[in-house]
A and B are shown apart, each in its own frame.
Chain A
Amino acid sequence: MFNSNVSRRNFLGLTAGAAGAAALAACGSSGPSDKGGSSSSGGKAVATYWSLSGVPGEPIRQAAIDRFNKANSDGKITPFFYQNDAYKQKIKTAIGAGQGPTMIWGWGGGTLKEYVKSGQVEDLTSWLSQNAAVKDKILPSSFGAGTVDGKVYALPVETVQPIVLFYNKKVFDQVGVKPPTSYNEMVALIPQFKAKGIAPFSLAGQSRWTNMMWLEFMLDRNAGSEVFNNVFAGKPNAWSDPAVLDMLTKIQSLVDQGAFQKGFSSTTADSNADQALLYTGKAAMMVHGSWSYGIQKDKGGNFVKDGGLGWMNFPPIEGGKGDPSNTVGNPGQYLSISSKATPEAKAAAQKFFSTTLVDDDEKAGWVKSGGVPVLKGADSLFTGDDAQFLKDMASIAQNAKSFAQSWDQALSPVAAETLLNNIAKLFQKQISPQAWVDSMNGVIGK
C-alpha cells in the first residue's frame, strides 16, 4: 500500500509536469513566426510575406506568389494573410520582437518612418538605381509615401486608391433626385433621403479612419492642401487654422442633421457593414476608398453589374479655396525588405520585386479586380464592365493637383492614434471643435 501510494504521487506529479511543459511549448510556437531563411534547402520557403486577407488583394497576391514559386525552385515565398485592423498591430509587434516577415507590407508614411528610424528596413535607393527598369515601370507619383529623407525604403505596389463619393443610383432614382455637384446640394439631399427612411450616408464609425476621410475632404475643399501639409511638416499650432474649426463645426452639424445611418458609431469597416448599407439601398451615399468597388462587386450580387453604383470625386464646397481636383487616399501600397532577413531571403525578395511584382499578370490582376495599378501603361487594359470606373479612378489619380496620403498613414503612430480618438469623440459630440484643435496641436511633430 505504501509503495502504490508513492507511485501514484509520482505519477500525478509527472502528469502535471508534462502538461505544464506541453503548455509552455505550445505558447512558444504560436502563430506564423517563421522569419524566413531558417532553411535554405531547395524545396523550402526562404522568404515570408505578410499582407491583408480578403478580396481583392489576397487572391491576386496568392496567385503572384504561386507564379513566383513555380518559376523559382531555389528561393520560395510563403504568404500569410491577416485582417486589416489586426494586421496593423501584428506587424509592429512582430518586427519589434525580431519575428517579422522578410517582406513588410504597409501604407508607407509615418509607420515606414518609424521602421527606418530603428533600422528595421533596407534602403532600396541604390538597388532601384541599379534596376532602373523596375523603377520605370511604376508611376513616379507613388514613390512619395515610400520615401523617407530622400531615400526610398519601400517599393510602391498594388493599386492607386483615391477616396471618392459612391452613391446608389437606384435609390437616387427612387427618391427622384440628382447626384450633387456641390457641398450645399449634398447637404440639401439629407432631409429628402431621411423622409423616405433611407440613410443619406453610410459610415463605419467604429473603425474611425472611415470618419477621418470626411475630415480630409472637408478640410481640403475648404482650405486646400496647405493646412495638413503644415501639420505634416510639424509646424507648431498648425491645426489652429480657422478652416479647421469651420470644418469640425460642419462635421458636427452633419451629425446633428442625421446625415449618417442610425448606429453608425458601432458599424465596422472590417465586416463590410458600411458597404452592405449602400448596396442594399439602406443608405444613399458613402465616402470610401476606391477599393470599395471590388467589395461591392463581390458581395453586392448584381448591384454593380446592373449599373446600380455611381461614383464621383468629393464635390466642391461653396467658397472653398481648395482645388476641386484634389484627392486623398493611398497613392499606393508599399513593400519593404526587412533588414533582419537572411541574405537568401533578401535575394528572393528582390527577385520577387523585379520580376513578378512588375509583370503583366500582376497588372492585369489588379485591373480585373477593379483597381488602378501603380504600374504604368494600364490604361489599355481598362475594358469590359469595369472600364468606366477604372478610367475615372485613373483620371482622378492622375489629374489631381494634390494627391494627399491618408492622415493616419502619413502621421506618426502617436499622432495618428490621438487623431483617430479625437475624431471618434467629435462624431459623438464628446469633444468641442476648439478642444479638438487644442488636443491635436499637442501632438504635432510627435
Chain B
Amino acid sequence: MTTLAPPAVRVPETSRTTGGRGGSVTWMALPAFLMFFAFGIIPLVGVLFLSFTTFDIIGTVVPSGLTSWKAALTDPGLMNSLWVTFLIMALSWLFQTPVSILLGVFLAARFRYRGFLAVFFFIPLMISAAAISITFKALLDPSFGLGNGLHIDALNQDWLGKSNLAIGVLIFIVSWQWIPFHTLIYQGAVRQIPTSMYEASQIDGAGRLRQFFSITLPQLKYTIITSSTLMVVGSLTFFDLIYVLTGGGPGDATNALALQMYRLGFQSNLMGPASAIAVILVLVGLSLSLLLRRLGGRADESQLEGA
C-alpha cells in the first residue's frame, strides 16, 4: 500500500479536464462502466425484450407482441400495487425527511459524545433487511412477541394482521433502517454551511429558530433533493423487507409493485407480464428522479451570495 501514499507536492492542476499531461482520463471510468453495463444495461434490455414475449421459466421464450403488456395492464392487482407503492413512498418520505434533517443538524454540532453516539446510530444501516424483518416479526408477534411477553396490552396489537397497522409498521421499520443514512447526508451538508452566515445573522438579532428556517433549511435545498431522490427511488425497490415481514399481506395490503412483479414472475410463472411490470418500475423511477431534479432548479446557481 506504500505506493498509494500521496506525493508530498502536487503539480498545480491545469484547467483543462483532459489533465494536460497527454491523453484523456475517461478510461478510468471504464471499470465502473463495465459493471454498470453488465449488471444494469444488459438486464434492462433483457427485461424489455421479455416483456414482449411469453415465457414460463421452464419452457422456451416465445415472442408474442403486446400480449404480456395487455395482461399486465388489465390485471386488477396492478392498480392496488401502484397505490401501495406510492403510499409507502409518500409516507416514508414524510416521516424520514424531517427526522433526518433534525438529527443531522443535531449531530453536526460539536459536542462531546457525538462521535460515540454516531456509531450506535449507524447499527441499523449495517443489518440486512431480511434479518431486520425477522427480528421485528418475532417482536411484534401477538402470541409470542414483546407485548405478550411483558404483558403490555398496548404493545399487543395485531401489528401485521391489519392493513393500516401493517403499512405503519412497514414505514416505521424502513425509517428505522434508513434515517441514519439520510442523517449522515444532512450532517455533512450542515457542516458545509459557512459559519459567517450564522455570525452575521446573530449580529442582526436572529434566534436559533430563525437561523434554522432562514439559513439552515435554504442552504440544505440541494441536499434535500438528493436525499429525497434516494428515498423515493429507493422505496420503489423495497422487496426483501416486505417479502419477509408480511409476504404482501394481510391479503394484498402491502403487495408493492416489486413484490407483485416477483409473484407474477416466479410464482405464477408469467415472466412476460412480470417483465412489463419491471419496465413500469424503471419508467416510474426515472421520471420521479427527473421530476425531483427539475424541482431543484438550476444546479449551478450560487447559494453563497453575500457569505
**Chain A: residues with CB nearer than 8 A to chain B?**
1-2, 4-5, 7-9, 11-13, 16-17, 19-20, 23-24, 88-89, 92-93, 95-96, 114-115, 117-118, 120, 199, 205-208, 261-268, 273, 276-277, 282, 413-414, 417-418, 421, 424-425, 427-428, 430-431
Contacts and interface: CB of A to CB of B under 8 A. Distances in A.
B266 A93 contact: yes
B253 A5 contact: no
A299 to B, nearest CB: 13
A23 B39 CA distance: 11
19 contacts: A8-B4, A9-B28, A11-B3, A19-B31, A20-B31, A20-B35, A23-B35, A93-B266, A95-B58, A114-B58, A115-B58, A206-B246, A265-B161, A266-B137, A267-B141, A413-B269, A414-B270, A427-B251, A431-B251
Nearest to A1: B7
B160 interface: yes
A16 B32 CA distance: 8
Nearest to B246: A266
Nearest to B80: A430
B159 A266 contact: yes
B11 interface: yes
Contact of A425 (B34, B56, B252, B270): B252
Given A118-B60, A425-B252, A4 B31 contact: no
B251 A424 contact: yes
B269 A414 contact: yes
A262 B266 contact: no
A115 B249 CA distance: 30
B252 A265 contact: no
Contacts of B57: 92-93, 95-96
Contacts of B160: 263, 265-266
Contact of A413 (B32, B166, B247, B267): B267
B268 A414 contact: yes
Contacts of A115: 58
Interface of B: 3-4, 7, 11, 21, 27-28, 30-32, 34-35, 38, 56-60, 77, 137, 140-144, 158-161, 163, 166, 246-247, 249-253, 263, 266-270
Contacts of A427: 251
Given A23-B35, A92-B58, A266-B161, A205 B267 contact: no
A428 B249 contact: yes
Nearest 4 A/B pairs, CB to CB: A266-B160, A428-B251, A118-B59, A263-B142
B31 A13 contact: yes
A428 B163 contact: yes
Given A1-B7, A89-B266, A115-B58, A261 B250 contact: no
A9 B137 CA distance: 49
B68 to A, nearest CB: 13
A266 B139 CA distance: 12
A13 B159 contact: no
A276 B31 contact: no
A118 B58 contact: yes
Given A118-B58, A263-B159, 14 more contacts: A11-B4, A13-B30, A95-B57, A205-B249, A262-B142, A265-B160, A265-B250, A266-B141, A266-B160, A266-B161, A273-B141, A428-B163, A430-B163, A431-B251
B71 to A, nearest CB: 10
Contact of A262 (B161, B253, B269): B161
Contacts of A207: 247
Contacts of B11: 1
A188 to B, nearest CB: 24
A93 B142 CA distance: 35
Contacts of B163: 428, 430
Contacts of A24: 38
Contact of A5 (B7, B58, B161, B270): B7
Nearest to B166: A266
A428 B253 contact: yes
A199 B143 CA distance: 10
B269 A114 contact: yes
Contact of A266 (B35, B58, B249, B266): B249
B158 A206 contact: no
B144 A276 contact: yes
Contacts of A11: 3-4
Contacts of A12: 28
B285 to A, nearest CB: 23
B31 A7 contact: no
A13 B28 contact: yes
B266 A424 contact: no
A381 to B, nearest CB: 36
Contacts of B269: 92, 114, 413-414
A304 B141 CA distance: 25
A424 B4 CA distance: 58
B38 to A, nearest CB: 7
Nearest to A430: B251
A93 B250 CA distance: 27
A212 B104 CA distance: 49
Given A1-B7, A11-B3, A265 B249 contact: yes
A207 B247 CA distance: 8
A327 B4 CA distance: 72
Contacts of B3: 7-8, 11
A425 B251 contact: yes
Contacts of B21: 2, 5
Contacts of B34: 20
A120 B7 CA distance: 62
A415 B140 CA distance: 33
A279 B201 CA distance: 68
